[in-house]
Amino acid sequence: MSEVLYTSLDISTLIDTLDFAAKKHSRQKRKDREGTPYINHPIGVAKNLVDAGITDLVTIQAAILHDTVEDTDTTFEEIESKFGNEVKNVVEEVTDDKLLPYEERKRLQIVHTPHISVKAKVVKLADKLYNLRDLQRSVPVNWTEKRVQEYFIWSKQVTDGAKGINQKLDDQLEDLYQNGTFEFNNITYKSYPKQIK
């Protein structure tokens, strides 16, 4: 693998992006039982990309910022003014419209994913990979085992629309769908069952 050389400007831009996201998500927690800081998620999504060999700065920035518009008071205009049009466009491609009902947002992710840019697709794959691993680690409060399995099934429908972009991400997701398990009330369940009754 060839070594990627970063300039001090790249590192400064990356730190600015992390700082912006950390401030925007500062009061938010994940839905897991531990209530982990929300910022762990976008950082983890960016790490999934780097671990898969993706080091493009715009893509990493978009991963770090991918939930800021959806889940904070951030606007697309704010992202564009601070980080540029290209970063804004990728974030926009992976942002759900919170004005729509939850089920419609889920449906649209399945429909839109095959048609978004390559950069947005890998962010989407890394995001789902993080969320699925997080579900295996800790089932959110008030979720049932069936809801976890339904999330896995829906995630596969979304990620199938982005297959073929990055083999490492594809392989990790496929392993979760084929072999993943999680614990709920001291019982081990298949994460992705063949059928849910």
Ranges of H-type helices in the chain: 8-24, 40-51, 57-65, 68-71, 76-83, 85-93, 102-112, 118-137, 145-159, 167-179
21, burial (CB in 10 Å: exposed 0-12, middle 13-18, buried 19+)? buried
Phi then psi for residue 41, to 5 deg, are -65, -60
Alpha-carbon distance of 68 to 65, in angstroms, equals 5
What are the catalytic residues? Answer: 70-71
Tell me the CA distances in angstroms from 185 to 32, 39, 85, 145, one per residue in order: 15, 28, 46, 9
Bridge partners of 141?
none
Q: Contact, 123 vs 62, CB < 8 A?
A: yes
> Two tokens at 124?
């989407």
> Two tokens at 34?
């531990």
